[in-house]
């Protein structure tokens, strides 16, 4: 019993009354787009293992091989004794993969954004920051830690961005635009070519989060930043989604990476990622160039799912990727639909505020390369059955 418990119980009760209490439930990721929970095997439409690499034999083998060779831990932070030859070699591979001069590995995507953004803003006093309203919470957190005001443009409204740049950024010593290339709750894309053009015309730096694009989109899965080579100043992405592993990277100029090595507190004061994590990433980078068929399959599944949701009268927004929302609206209705689908053998997690705006609670349907067209059709049939949609 802690002296804090009474206060924490009261706070939890407020969360519960708001219908927003969350709990942890044990699950096991399986091949073939499946997952196990409470002893049941279900079709999985909630995980971010887009290419099915989390259980790929090569990743498992190399992870074990590197752990056997170099041990289970890295021993220290990178600036003490934690940097190994494997860290440096993997960062060189990531830089080449992203067509950048250099890269830096972080323990997670959240850590990368929350550490890099305040470090970057500290180096540019008076910088004007422009953000898409729907950027990830970790990016908002990084800006808040820096104590810098952000100018938010309407989601993917680049006309609004241009207006704000002209009104708020013209007299600033520097301008920084932050966006995601694929938005994690909506599955839509940023227009990278126009963003790069806007950044160039307004002399603004461009910071993009490729967490949900890395491995899936762009030539050889290099992300949407690869569509505008040399025009993105900082690219962040993760290894924990399509790459089937754990951790994150930041890539950019050599000067940028040298600066972050000296200024990003979340890098400086964190133990380095262990050998097993590095081995899995290394194996994933070997596989990605040869996975065009899996990427095409994911795209086709997304089209099939969106067409089916439209037939059922369910809004899927502007999704054009492997992430497809089925927007329900009220939180209780989204939660109830998710529960009914789980009872029918489909894991389709409900996403609600504060993760998404009020009134837009949804099923966030995430596709995996192991899914078949029959799996998509089965999900659509289940949604129709439990909702009466399309009748």
Catalytic residues: 48, 136, 180, 184, 209, 212, 241
Rounded Cα distance, 207 and 175, in Å: 11
| 303-312: long-range pairs with CB below 8 Å, 24+ | 304/373, 304/376, 304/377, 305/365, 305/367, 305/376, 305/379, 305/380, 308/376, 308/377, 308/380, 309/380, 309/383, 311/380, 311/390, 312/380, 312/383, 312/384, 312/387, 312/389, 312/390
Helices 137-146 and 109-122: angle between axes, nearest 10 degrees:
30
Q: Tokens 């639909």 sit at which residue? A: 337
CA angle 155, 157, 159 (to 5 degrees): 155
Are the C-beta atoms of 352 and 277 separated by less than 8 Å? no
* Residue 370 tokens, joined: 């192991």
What is the secondary structure of 81-131 as a DSSP string? II--HHHHHHHHHHHHHTT-SEEEEES-HHHHHHHHHHHHHHTSTT-EEEE
The three-state secondary structure class of 341 is helix
> φ, ψ for residue 212 (rounded to 5)?
-100, 5
CA angle 207, 320, 142 (to 5 degrees): 25
Number of residues written out for the chain: 391
Bridge partners of 237, per DSSP, are: 249
Are the C-beta atoms of 115 and 141 separated by less than 8 Å? no
Rounded Cα distance, 131 and 169, in Å: 13
């Amino acid at each position: 019993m802690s002296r804090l418990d009474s206060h924490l119980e009261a706070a939890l009760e407020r969360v519960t009354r708001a219908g927003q209490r969350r709990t942890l439930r044990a699950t096991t990721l399986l091949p073939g787009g499946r997952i196990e929970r409470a002893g049941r095997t279900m079709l999985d439409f909630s995980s971010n293992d887009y290419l099915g690499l989390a259980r790929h034999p090569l990743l498992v083998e190399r992870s074990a091989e590197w752990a056997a060779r170099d041990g289970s831990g890295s021993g220290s932070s990178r600036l003490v004794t934690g940097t190994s030859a494997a860290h440096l070699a993997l960062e060189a591979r990531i830089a080449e993969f992203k067509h950048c001069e250099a890269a830096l590995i972080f323990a997670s995507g959240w850590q990368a954004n929350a550490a890099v953004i305040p470090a970057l803003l500290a180096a540019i006093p008076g910088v004007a920051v422009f953000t898409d309203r729907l950027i990830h919470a970790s990016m908002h957190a990084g800006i808040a830690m820096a104590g810098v005001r952000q100018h938010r443009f309407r989601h993917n409204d680049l006309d609004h961005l241009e207006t704000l740049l002209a009104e708020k950024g013209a007299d600033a010593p520097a301008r920084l635009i932050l966006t995601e290339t694929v938005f994690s709750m909506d599955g839509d894309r940023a227009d990278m070519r126009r963003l790069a053009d806007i950044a160039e015309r307004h002399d603004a730096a461009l910071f993009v989060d490729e967490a949900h694009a890395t491995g899936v989109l762009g030539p050889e899965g290099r992300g949407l930043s690869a569509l505008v080579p040399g025009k993105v100043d900082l690219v962040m992405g993760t290894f924990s989604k399509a790459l089937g592993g754990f951790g994150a990277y930041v890539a950019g100029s050599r000067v940028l990476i040298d600066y972050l090595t000296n200024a990003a507190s979340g890098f400086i004061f964190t133990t380095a990622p262990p050998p097993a994590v590095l081995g899995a990433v290394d194996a994933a980078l070997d596989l990605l160039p040869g996975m065009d068929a899996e990427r095409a399959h994911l795209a086709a599944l997304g089209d099939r799912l969106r067409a089916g949701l439209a037939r059922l009268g369910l809004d899927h927004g502007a999704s054009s990727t492997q992430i497809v929302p089925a927007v329900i609206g009220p939180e209780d209705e989204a939660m109830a639909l998710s529960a009914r689908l789980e009872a029918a053998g489909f894991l389709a997690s409900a996403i609600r505020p504060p993760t998404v705006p009020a009134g837009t609670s949804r099923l966030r349907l995430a596709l995996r390369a192991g899914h078949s067209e029959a799996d998509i059709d089965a999900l659509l049939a289940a949604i129709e059955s439990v909702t009466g949609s399309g009748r």
